[in-house]
Structure 1
């Protein structure tokens, strides 16, 4: 699949300014790339670790939401990341796979590779809390 810019549905959201690209989006796998550009690297020339964490959260959250049910949501409850190697070439590619989908918690594994460097750069496990659907606001009643 040819990567395409990730759709951002919130107007003026920060994610619209970052070079996220959708690679795969199926029921059981989400793959998202983050291009490595000069304004996103640290003083050593590697993609900033916080942006790698954000990439992991985006890919994992997009997969988790598929298992929440109609109108429900998911919120990151826990994220453990093992940074294994710097992302020097890029893009950073996050591959999210489902570990377990329960009624209240969804667990996702995410591997991040430096595509240009052909190596595993990070491995993460995330837990998402399943959020119940929001109820529509009730009109105020007069006393």
Structure 2
């Protein structure tokens, strides 16, 4: 098994072990760890839709925050305790009920803080539907 496969498995395991049950119900799956971040898939779910078959913004924000943390877990190769200290989300176009692809780019990953950029797309569509920038503080010293 490669180091990247190990990191993907670690991210998926951390999600099932450390996050609240309602976050686990989003069914987020780490697909790939990249040099600067990671790629995720969230399968279609009617539970995430609001009227009109649009994935609700609350779900997209939760996905963005969660995959930012998971990416840091994968890149740091540890389970450092962190907390979100700031998050800005922009919704540019609707995400219709269906599979969602998301990419994380780590902008910084320091000793005490980290910042990530998250882009969310409808699966198979190159246009960004929602984007978030999240800042995390490591609370372990």
User: Would you call these one fold, judging by a TM-score over 0.5?
Assistant: yes
Query: For each residue in 1:18-63, what CA deviation from the matched residue of structure 2 results, as whole angstroms up to 9, or x when unmatched?
Result: 3322211346322222222222201121111111011101111112
> Structure 1 pair 48/102, CA: closer, same or farther in 2 (3 Å)?
same
Unaligned runs of 5+ in 1: 134-143
Q: Is the 8 A contact 1:88 1:114 kept in 2?
A: yes
Matched, 1:37 2:54: no
What TM-score does the superposition give when structure 1 sets the normalisation length? Answer: 0.76
> Structure 1 pair 130/68, CA: closer, same or farther in 2 (3 Å)?
farther
Q: Which of these two proteins has the greater Rg computed from alpha carbons?
A: 1
2:132 paired residue number: 124
1:139 paired residue number: none
Normalized per residue, which structure has more helix? 2
Unaligned runs of 5+ in 2: 1-8
What TM-score does the superposition give when structure 2 sets the normalisation length? Answer: 0.76
Q: Is the 8 A contact 1:90 1:117 kept in 2?
A: no
